[in-house]
Structure 1
Amino acid sequence: MEKLINKKEILDRVRFSEGENFQYDEEAILKEFKIQEDNNSSLAIKILSIFGGILATIAFIAFLLIAGLYNSEIGLVLFGFIFIVSAILLNKIYDKLIIDTFSVSSYVIGNILLVFGLTEMNFDENIISGLICLIAISSLFITQNYILSFIAILTVNCCFLYLITFYHVYDIIHLYIGLSILILTYLFLNEAKLIATNIKISKLYAPCRIGFIISLLIGLIAFDRENLFFISQNNIWLSSITLIIVNIYLVYIILKIIEVKTLTNKLVIYTLTSLILISLVLAPTILGAITIILLSFLVQYKTGLAIGIISFIYFISQYYYDLNFTLLTKSIILFSSGVLFLLLYIFTNKYLLSDEKV
């Protein structure tokens, strides 16, 4: 209750600062905060709720399978649709944490049953993937539940990756990574504009942002697995083109925000940045992690920043492990990269601060 009073005080201050012409729906805003407060719980409770909902749904599915559902392709498809529709309707009608966790598990298992049923009926993979994508996209328009929307974004991207592997067009992964990074950059740099568009987009913004971050990482991890994606070694640099351009653009925006005006400082920063990025042209996974870090830092998105740092450490370790060089050569490569990063850090901390004082 105390939090709601604080929110009301904030609204009163905003109204006072904006003047008498400022209008807002105070009742709707406070109602939304009340819903969030009622459904707020610790991470442990959320994990236990989701785990419990999944167990309950799996138990029910096990009962249906014991009853002979696996012998009926139509039954699998029918119950799959029932689970999916029920999950979407529950999220649309109710706005409670326990309902959310159960509906999400029901949504996932419904998709699994649907895929199994259609596969047993010998449907074409294009039709199955297209139908799953259509259901995922439709759920975004019907309900803007955070977890359900997050799963829907992952579902669409995973279907795309599945088709790449099924048709053995592995080099399309470059297009996947390029589009993912461009969409992610657009989401981060247009946060205020997108949130202010309408209430549905504002609710979808957060799950879409984290959804595309995870989707990009899934694509980068798949890209890095030679036994999964048989990518031509001569074309590895293709994914790096978009990543390098985006990273340089982000550096440009950051320099503009911190008001670096000295031409010498700009040239040094761009030179060091270019050397670092070009040295990683054959490691697009590391470039992708750097992009996530810069985007998250730019908008102060702590979750994305943590994910970016962890993925950066992982991809560097994996790149070091996979290099077909001697231990000495690997050490020299890492040492050189480390020196470039340190020079960039020292310059930005020493000279940019002096530039700001001037």
Structure 2
Amino acid sequence: MDKLNNKKAFLAAISASQGLEFEYNEKAILEDYNIQGENKSSLTIKILTVIGGFLATLAFLAFLLIAGLYNSEEGLLLFGALFIIIAIWLNTAYDTLIIDTFSVSTYIIGFILLTFGLAEMRVDINIVTVVISLIAIISLFITQNYILSFISILTISCSFLTLILFNDLYDLIHLYIVITTLLLTYIFSNEALLISSNVKISKLYNPSRIGLIIALLFGLIAVGKKHIIPLSTSQIWLPSIVMFCVIIYLVYRILKIINIKTLKSRLLIYALSCLILIPLVFSPSILGALIIILLSFLVNYKTGLAIGIISFIYFISQYYYDLNYTLLTKSIILFSSGIVFLIFYLFTSKIPHSNEKI
């Protein structure tokens, strides 16, 4: 009760400080706070609930398979569609942890059944992929549940990758990376606008940013790890052009935030940035990891920052491992890159901000 009163006092203080023009729906805010409090539980309870809901759904699916569902294409389609509809309905009708967990398990299994049903009917893989992606897109408009939206975004991205791989259009992976990078940059750069524009869009913001980060990593792994897919080495630099521009734009945004105004300092930072980025033109995976790090730093997104740092270390290691040079040459390259990064760090840490005395 004390926490609820504190929330009311906090809202009243904000309203008093902002004046008569400040408007807010106190009832809706407090109701949402109460719902979050009711669904708040320990990590152990959440894990057990997720496992329990998933096992219960699998048990029901096992029962259907024992009953001979796998022998009926129509049955697979029917139950697949039914599971997806039930999952979406549960998320729109209820807002509790147990129901959310059960609906997510049902949603995933529904997609699996639907895919197997269409495959058993010998439907073309392109049509199956398009149908699955369309269902995922429609579900985003109907329900904005965090996990369901996250799964839908991953389903859409995996559908595009499936179309590329099964049609042997391997070089289109570069276009996939570019589109995903631009979408991710737009979402992170317009965080305040997206959160405040619409209730549905604001609920989709969090799952969208983590979903697009994972989707981008799928593409970066495809080009960062040799021999996963047969790519033309002459075109590997194409997505790097867009990524180079995005990183320079992000450096510009960060310089504005940390308030570095002197032209000499800004030009020197841009020059050092280009010096670091130019050797990485033939490794878009490293540039992609840098974009994830910079975007996460821009909005203080710790999960994305951790993912970006881990992927950056992995892609750098993979890049130098794949180089056709001697160990000594690789060591020199790695050492030189480290020196450039240290110079960049020392320079930026010594730059006085506009609010500091020079």
Whole-angstrom distance in 2 between the partners of 1:159 and 1:106: 20
Give 2:9's aligned residue.
Answer: 9
1:113 equivalent in structure 2: 113
TM-score (norm 1): 0.97
Judged with a 3 Å threshold, the aligned counterparts in structure 2 of structure 1 residues 231 and 292 are, in CA distance, closer, same or farther, namely same
Cross-structure match for 1:158: 158
Residue deviations 1:35-84 (CA, integer Å, cap 9, x gap) = 11221233333233222222111121111111111111111111101110
Q: What does the per-residue CA deviation read over 1:60-117, in whole Å, with 9 as the maximum and x for residues that have no partner? A: 1111111111111111111101110010000110000111011001100100000000
- What is the letter of the counterpart of residue 296 of structure 1? S
Equivalent-residue separation in structure 2 for 1:70 and 1:225 (angstroms): 37
Separation in structure 1 between the aligned mates of residue 350 and residue 277 of structure 2, nearest angstrom: 22
Structure 1 counterpart of 2:170: 170
Corresponding residue pairs, total: 358
Q: Identify which range, 340-349 or 125-134, moves more after superposition.
A: 125-134
| Corresponding letter in the other structure for 1:37 | G
Q: Does 1:262 align with 2:245?
A: no
d(CA) in 2 for partners of 1:67, 1:229: 40
From the superposition, tell whether residues 266 and 85 of structure 1 become closer, same or farther in structure 2 (CA, over 3 Å): same
1:291 is aligned to 2:330 = no
Determine the C-alpha separation between the residues in 2 that align with 1:335 and 1:124.
51
Other-structure match for 1:93: 93
What's 1:281 paired with? 281
2:311 maps to which residue? Answer: 311
| 1:260/1:355 contact within 8 Å kept | no
CA distance in 1 between partners of 2:71 and 2:167 (Å): 29
Percent identity over the alignment is: 65
What's the offset of the Cα at 1:8?
Answer: 1.7
The answer for the alignment partner of 2:103 in structure 1 is 103
CA contact (8 A) 1:260 1:356 kept: no
Give the conservation status (yes or no) of the 8 Å contact 1:262–1:355. no
Judged with a 3 Å threshold, the aligned counterparts in structure 2 of structure 1 residues 337 and 42 are, in CA distance, closer, same or farther, namely farther
RMSD of aligned alpha carbons: 1.4
Query: 2:87·2:107 contact (CA, 8 Å) conserved in 1?
Result: yes
**Which position in structure 2 is the counterpart of 1:144?**
144
SS in 1 for 2:144: coil
TM-score (norm 2): 0.97
Q: CA deviation at 1:123?
A: 0.8
Q: Which runs of 5 or more residues in structure 2 are unaligned?
A: none
In structure 1, what is the equivalent of residue 59 of structure 2?
Answer: 59
CA distance in 2, matches of 1:324, 1:45: 51
Q: Distance in 1 between matches of 2:126 and 2:83?
A: 22
1:183-222 to structure 2, matched below 5 A, reads 183-222=183-222
- 1:22 aligns with 22
- Correspondence for 2:327: 327
Q: Partners of 1:340 and 1:227 in 2: how far apart?
A: 30
